[in-house]
Amino acid sequence: MKKLLQFNIKDTEKHKIDTNKLIKEVVEYNGKDFLFDGLSNSEIKEEYYDEKIYQLDKYQINTISDIKLSKQDDHYSIVISIEGIENFFTIGSVPQSLTLKIDNLLEGSDIKCEIVMMGGKYKKVIVNDDGSEVVKSFREPILFSLSIYERPAIPTGYSQIGYEDINEKHIDYFCPNCKEKLSGKRNCLTCGLEIFYPGEKHPKTTSEKIIETSNKISIAGDSVQSFGNSMILGCTIPIIIIILIMLLF
């Protein structure tokens, strides 16, 4: 992708609460196995003695979020949303001097935004007074930079969501039929199955329609049977009462 603009995001301190909420969501989404590069404390001690190992990769936010530029009055804010979460997160603003340039980019290009995160929680090996080595956690202020790219045209035969997830967010998808790795195309290259990627709307398959129809018929059948039973019971009770009256009197 062609990079059109890059800058450091302003006013991050003002939006610290939203930033912390965003980081929490990203951490929960990725799970423990993917934090700190998936390294254990012993691995950090053995292989990364003098390095800071950050909790999140600097591009990690991009893998699960949608980044937008939201204009209010004469300035832009950077707003991030995550699929499946109603709330959105404002993490800072665009420098005032770039407002006109952003206006022109939004009018003339189909753009894509990418966040780079710097700082945050990290682990590092420290040496105690007695000479022993331990891994401890530390925190740095979180800063962001934003890159704006010209979004490339999606090749013919590809799903836009699938293409972007695989080629830009580096998410792996596999065919549910033959288990082969997908490329973002609408149809699996190996078995030809039509693929619908997460987040896409798609028509119900024939089997789903058959199941739904069968369920409706079953429900209707149960209703008819229930109605029939009620009718039988409703007719039987008065007859029994009449017979009892005749026997008693």
Residue 129 lies in a domain: yes
Residue 32 lies in a domain: yes
The confidence band for 17, taking pLDDT boundaries of 50, 70 and 90, is very high
Torsion of CA 46, 48, 51, 54, to 10 degrees: -110
CA distances from 172 to 5, 14, 125, 157 (A): 28, 36, 33, 18
Residue 162 lies in a domain: no
Q: What is the DSSP string of 115-133?
A: EEEEEEEEEEEEE-TTS-E
Number of structural domains in the chain: 1
- Show the tokens assigned to 102: 């952003």
What average pLDDT does range 116-127 have in this prediction?
95
Report the pLDDT value the prediction gives residue 100, as an integer from 0 to 100.
Answer: 92
CA distances from 129 to 42, 51, 227 (A): 20, 20, 84
The boundaries of the domain holding residue 118 are 2-150
Work out the burial of residue 56: count CB atoms within 10 Å of its CB; fewer than 13 is exposed, 13-18 middle, 19 or more buried: buried
What average pLDDT does range 231-241 have in this prediction?
55
Residue 231 lies in a domain: no
Residue 207 lies in a domain: no
Report the pLDDT value the prediction gives residue 171, as an integer from 0 to 100.
Answer: 82
Q: Which residues of 1-19 are buried (b: 16+ CB within 10 A; e: fewer)?
A: eeebeebebbebeebeebb
Residue 122 lies in a domain: yes
How far is it, in rounded angstroms, from Cα 1 to Cα 104? 18
Asked whether the beta carbons of 190 and 182 are under 8 A apart, the reply is no
Q: Which residues pair with 135 in a beta bridge?
A: 125
How far is it, in rounded angstroms, from Cα 86 to Cα 157? 32
Task: Give me the residue label for tokens 């925190």.
Answer: 139
Report the pLDDT value the prediction gives residue 238, as an integer from 0 to 100.
Answer: 59
Listed range (67-71, 92-96, 200-204) with the worst mean pLDDT: 200-204
According to DSSP H, which parts of the chain are helical?
A: 16-30, 41-47, 99-108, 160-167, 206-248
Task: Note if the pTM is more than 0.85.
Answer: no
pLDDT tens digits, 102-114: 999 888 778 889 9
Residue 187 lies in a domain: no
Residue 138 lies in a domain: yes
